[in-house]
Structure 1
């Protein structure tokens, strides 16, 4: 298993299969790449089926034991079932999706080997949902969640980005998972540095405080310093990486863009590493290099100025030494 110089072993990979999406969510940062989404037709620069599988096989050589397929919308890939089926047996396979294609494909994906699914759902009201996603597919998403549960993908984890436009919907979403067995809720802290809309930010600690009063039981996960709130039948977890050195210090994931670039950190694009023609030797070399050069985003790439109580600022020493800037 490969580890970076901070001792963080890479145990998982997050593979973007496409930047295409049938939604246009107003908070989307496209895996940290920005709004690069193009036409809905497949593009020539997307990794092919064999390329994706070959990468996963090499990652498995380094004891990576989990892969999450993302996008864009990964289910726009017609070969998703094949990719899932051909993923190494040693890897847990999951998908993050907007859910609109699950009614027709959940069962086939489970048959192929899919083990977990995250469905993006930012509201329970169709009009509110449409305002955030720029999509009228609310009913289809609800059907998709039910299809995933029927196919045995429980618990289905609902992803909700918490920012100005959605914060008011948090209580009903929490009630929703509390009342429906098989659902969990993941509240994801809004990342203004990736979306360019800092005015949409909300204080995530207020959500923590509200949930602490509402929860029947609170569980603390040392990894990423996360808290899980058990409410009724459901569980709510807050993903709060912004200005969280503990979160970054416990990151064990490498990302892959749809174009076949390795990405050591969600927040950065100055560390992209091409895997060339996607031959096994090229993939191995690129993977080793990206892992070796990973640094915690908060705490190393960004550091506190002055005596440590100031604002986060770019670590010029790191940039000069490693990034060649």
Structure 2
């Protein structure tokens, strides 16, 4: 059973932010406010939400944060989710704790990881994150490969005058590790507003033109927001361009849950969240199902809305 929104888009993927806590301080991060640990969903509540999601046709789960590996019960969370029968369970991490956790994550039922790494230069890494953890992250990626958390994707947020000159070095590093490089467009956020966004925003369209000329093959992922994947000399580069991209919105199949148990129909909006915390605490799965359906019906293409003035 698949549930479609009012724009005939199936919802097949759920991204669950399980904490806002992070051990880095990236200046561009789209933090949605700090949620105290006492208000975070418990492992049991996350399991309940996932059970309802599965019954509504969602087949993929991604855990994120903050930094999800800061949750003391992260292994328990994955163990609970892995019994439900999802096709894919993945986790997005900054990689600083990945060397320690990789084997246990795999044993618990995690399929794969995305690792956020914007640079291979230690000075640039400290400028972006405020920390000196570059070598920890690189070791974490290698540990994830060894543990079989595959395919590994490295998320590189592109920033003009900061790391835009490192694309090919990062591609080579990823290729050596057997990882896929994802080049991600910088989003405007409260942490990177106005002037900062204009200063650092890098137009990925120019990169795509260059990649198109040298790629051995180009694949469009229709149900992944029409993302293009470029195959070059046995390696892969995927482009993620959400800003002002109507195709990104038109083909979006993902919904989100905040750490405190709110359904978030759209990545780029915080004004239409649906609170399901009470239903989770009451163990009311039918009420949860209705809230999920309500959230799905509240979805519409964000950039189409801005362009056409839809409500």
Q: Please report the TM-score for the alignment, with normalisation by the length of structure 1.
A: 0.87
Deviations 1:95-151 (A, max 9, x none): 000111111111111011000100000011111111111111111101100110000
Q: Does 1:144 align with 2:140?
A: yes
Aligned partners of 1:123 and 1:166 also within 8 Å: yes
Q: In the alignment, which residue of structure 1 is the partner of 2:15?
A: 14
Q: Following superposition, which runs of at least 4 residues in structure 1 exceed 6 angstroms of deviation?
A: none
**Alignment partner of 2:243: what SS?**
coil
Q: In the alignment, which residue of structure 1 is the partner of 2:187?
A: 191
Cα deviation for residue 217 of structure 1 reads 2.5
**Alignment partner of 2:54: what SS?**
helix
Aligned partners of 1:21 and 1:37 also within 8 Å: no
Instruction: Count how many residue pairs are aligned between Structure 1 and Structure 2.
Output: 298
Q: In the alignment, which residue of structure 2 is the partner of 1:321?
A: none
Deviations 1:168-224 (A, max 9, x none): 22221122223x152110001111256313222121111112222342322233332
Measured in 2, the distance between the counterparts of 1:193 and 1:128 equals 20
Give the alignment of 1:274-293 within 5 angstroms.
274-277=275-278, 278=280, 279=283, 280-293=285-298
Aligned partners of 2:158 and 2:185 also within 8 Å: yes
Measured in 2, the distance between the counterparts of 1:181 and 1:114 equals 19
Task: Provide structure 1 residue ranges, at least 5 long, that are not aligned to the other structure.
Answer: 305-314, 319-325
**Alignment partner of 1:20: what SS?**
coil
Measured in 2, the distance between the counterparts of 1:210 and 1:173 equals 16
Aligned partners of 2:19 and 2:67 also within 8 Å: yes
Q: In the alignment, which residue of structure 1 is the partner of 2:210?
A: 210
**Alignment partner of 1:150: what SS?**
helix
Aligned partners of 1:260 and 1:275 also within 8 Å: yes
Task: Provide structure 2 residue ranges, at least 5 long, that are not aligned to the other structure.
Answer: none
Deviations 1:40-73 (A, max 9, x none): xx62111111111111011111121110000000
Q: In the alignment, which residue of structure 2 is the partner of 1:58?
A: 52
Q: Please report the TM-score for the alignment, with normalisation by the length of structure 2.
A: 0.91
Q: Does 1:5 align with 2:6?
A: yes
Aligned partners of 2:13 and 2:58 also within 8 Å: yes
Measured in 2, the distance between the counterparts of 1:133 and 1:276 equals 32
More deviation in 159-168 or 190-199? 190-199
Give the alignment of 1:175-254 within 5 angstroms.
175-178=172-175, 180-192=176-188, 195-196=192-193, 197-199=196-198, 200-223=200-223, 224-254=225-255
Root-mean-square deviation (Å) = 1.6
Measured in 2, the distance between the counterparts of 1:181 and 1:171 equals 14
Cα deviation for residue 91 of structure 1 reads 4.2
**Alignment partner of 1:14: what SS?**
strand
- In proportion to residue count, which structure has more helix? 2
More deviation in 66-75 or 1-10? 1-10
Measured in 2, the distance between the counterparts of 1:181 and 1:108 equals 20
**Alignment partner of 1:44: what SS?**
helix
